[in-house]
Chains A and B, each alone.
Chain A
């Protein structure tokens, strides 16, 4: 397994927002989803996941609610708020611009 890639500054927030865009998820599932969809390239340390979740919640981009998990335990489920959706769109657009620009530079050289 190749070593997990370092996350670009600020991209963790975007990944978390993207992970909860379809349905409410708890923290473990968010970490799993990012890891799996990135085919194990991106591994989110729990130490940074939960502070990030709380930060996003304090900013009002995601909302947390207690709910029953798939193994029937009480867990905090995070879902996207309207403000969070807007933020995600903005960050995605920004990401596309940035990635496009970097691609352009790399293609030229």
Chain B
């Protein structure tokens, strides 16, 4: 068997040469002549008989060649060669077809690569298929530190006591890990910078199966008593790019001013169990008070802050695990409930009875951003597939036009004995050349497009993007699959037409006007192109309107001439007692700068998808049962509200008298006042406090207008501002500077002023608020940009495709037009005739497509902002554009046909 394969392989590369076969056949004939001679024939007769007996020598030679193992491949190459020659003879057609495919396939590869990285690729850990992400349903009574990714019934944040209980008492996981991340200040070699740290459980690396690149990683024993074990593991990329691969094991670095011993570096490629999270350093979860100095969450059952991933024990499925976990979870929740304030049956139902765990597949890791990305990416992928479909129809119609001019060629081939299969093979070979060339060009373009796109998404945010501009095997396979499928599809178009046609009829083709099946096929192509491009143009219009609306939304305060920057003295190692004075010095120094109108600061930056919220107790207000009304709770400087320009409706703003020792005060917004007191003025003088937190009782001294806080997308929420001089907890602040001049000119003087106070202070990312809003709207901007690109691409493709078909079919009708004109038709009438046909077809298509477009729009409505699903401007513009393109594509050939001299037109064969 092996031997046979080997022999075949040898002959595959070197079959018998033509000379060998010739010599062998010649010998046979000569030998027969000799035999005939010795049988007594005359030389001439002997030769004649031998040749007659042998039969067709060329045929024998041909049949010998067909035995070669590589024969079918040779045939295929012959088809390719022939196809290539034909395509090169027609460079215009070939260029347009390949470019069309390259654009479509390139776009497709780029977007699929993003989709692949965000949604499909598994974490670089051992056996990722056994990982599950834990979430739960049930009341979260307390405070939540969330990065997002939650949906009703799926809260992804757990308290540390709950994590420990679940980890120690379950019988279905071989490991259960938890992590949270936050920015910290790192000082290494006397250089300070702000980076992202991940707090992890001791079994984190072991459960994931991540190995050390250097030193050791954490073990269960590293998770000790709070603050007792300041050790750190570094991320490989951070170690390489920021510490120059220095020998770091057993060295010390400062995290928020506290010395930590580095024990090792994690393996390259690993970042976090949370996709998109890129920590530079890992510390044990028990060091929480260093990373998040404002909080004390380790012993608190009601601080929800940890994402949880677990590894299923061998042989246990998710359903089985869940069945075993939920009784445990219920008993833990019941124990927690007994310590709650509200012991009503209703509260018990919400907290215990309705609570349950969920297990989600975790091979790709948990991701708060993935949910947000899934819909936009799916939408964009859908648009790209439409572009691909358009490209296929486009190339099919171009091929069809080309094939129609080759009717004679195919008839001749059939006449010479070609079978339908052979003609089909030829057409497929040509299609494959086009498809694969297009795919190759598209693949060559894709990494560059991807790099541009990633660069663009990362611009301004300063974060490392979670995407890499590389294509993996899955993307290559997908592209190849798309290219092959597309090639077969558009090759079939002419094949259908030339599948064994009756010869006589196809020879008559030269004189007929393209009636019958080919006409209806052409009409289908025109209709499909108009339909696809209409869908894409509508999508482009909707998303562009969305981003325009979002950009011009009224935030409740003026966003121009406003700079923002972050500063956290803790990151420079300031002890807690010295933080407030230095913050005041920064405020004073910036306020004194020339060109600065005013400056304010808050611990809860605006329009950055951040929010610190919680429940409040309000004097004179009895909450109805089940009232779960959370309010935003920013701590701000005395000048913050004035700097942003949020109008005062009643009472007063904060002022210099609201010091740490004075009566605690609060300013609430209109929504707050209306919810709790029914009117703006009624709020003044009431008390507001945080339940369960001591020393938070404040008197309401002012009411301000509503302003958007977490994002321009979301409506304003009820808010209670308190001056940070009086707040219990404080961390780094975001400063807002209102300037007289264009704001970006003030950035350098701000940095200088801060450095003047203390060079160790890290001023993070000075940005204008308009830039920050743009950054916050990144997803919408990308979707709008891509949708616009695809819309334009669709218009161009439709133009090319329609023109190709219409130019051909009009040329086919030259004779008919000649007759009409000879009978007295005017030029205008002829042009009108052709235009009317096309526009009728276009109109019909548009009528069919519009309801489809509305249907698709309905599916993407969650991504739209301020634009109706049936926005007449968008639909009207789209219909006008596509009708215009169709009219133009029909008008040019129609005019050309109408200018032909009727006598000449009648003579054309």
Contact = CB atoms under 8 A, between A and B. Distances in A.
B67 A47 contact: no
B63 A51 contact: yes
B20 to A, nearest CB: 7
Contacts of A55: 67
A85 interface: no
Interface stretch (B26-34, B318-326, B519-527, B809-817): B26-34
A54 B64 CA distance: 7
Interface string B47-79: 000000111100110011011110000000000
Contacts of B6: 60
Given A28-B27, A59-B7, A83-B3, A54 B67 contact: yes
B24 interface: yes
A50 B26 CA distance: 12
User: Which of B28, B34, B59, B66 has its CB near the most chain A CB atoms (within 10 A)?
Assistant: B28
A66 to B, nearest CB: 9
A61 B28 CA distance: 22
A94 interface: no
Interface residues of A, number: 23
B317 to A, nearest CB: 51
A48 B56 CA distance: 11
A46 B55 contact: yes
Contact of A73 (B30, B53, B63, B67): B30
A3 interface: no
A78 to B, nearest CB: 10
Interface in A66-91: 69, 71, 73-76, 83
A28 B31 contact: yes
| B interface, over-half SS | helix
Given A58-B7, A83-B3, A51 B67 contact: yes
Contacts of A73: 27, 30-31
B27 A54 contact: no
Contact of A26 (B8, B27, B56, B69): B27
Interface in B4-28: 4, 6-8, 11, 15-16, 20-21, 23-25, 27-28
Interface in A38-53: 45-48, 50-51
A27 interface: yes
B2 to A, nearest CB: 11
Interface in B589-638: none
Contacts of A50: 21, 24-25, 28, 60, 63-64
Interface residues of B, number: 31
Contacts of A51: 60, 63-64, 66-67
A71 B34 contact: yes
Contact of B11 (A45, A47, A58, A75): A58
B785 to A, nearest CB: 58
User: Which of B3, B23, B31 has its CB near the most chain A CB atoms (within 10 A)?
Assistant: B31
A60 B8 contact: yes
A69 B67 CA distance: 25
A79 B734 CA distance: 92
B514 to A, nearest CB: 45
B60 A28 contact: no
A75 to B, nearest CB: 5
Nearest to A70: B31
Contacts of B3: 60, 83
Contacts of B60: 46-47, 50-51
A71 B31 contact: yes
B67 A46 contact: no
A73 B55 CA distance: 22
A36 to B, nearest CB: 12
A47 to B, nearest CB: 5
A59 B1 CA distance: 10
User: Which of A45, A58, A59 has its CB near the most chain B CB atoms (within 10 A)?
Assistant: A58
A30 B34 CA distance: 16
Contacts of B30: 73
B27 A74 contact: yes
B24 A76 contact: yes
A58 B56 CA distance: 23
A47 B34 contact: no
Contacts of A31: 28
B58 to A, nearest CB: 10
A67 B25 CA distance: 15
Given A28-B27, A51-B66, A58-B68, A46 B4 contact: no
A69 B35 CA distance: 13
Nearest to A43: B53
Given A27-B27, A47-B55, A58-B69, 19 more contacts: A28-B31, A46-B54, A46-B60, A47-B59, A50-B24, A50-B25, A51-B60, A51-B64, A51-B66, A51-B67, A54-B21, A55-B67, A57-B16, A71-B31, A73-B30, A73-B31, A76-B20, A76-B27, A83-B3
Top 5 nearest A-B pairs (CB, nearest first) are A60-B7, A51-B63, A28-B31, A54-B67, A55-B67
Interface of A: 26-28, 31, 45-48, 50-51, 54-55, 57-60, 69, 71, 73-76, 83
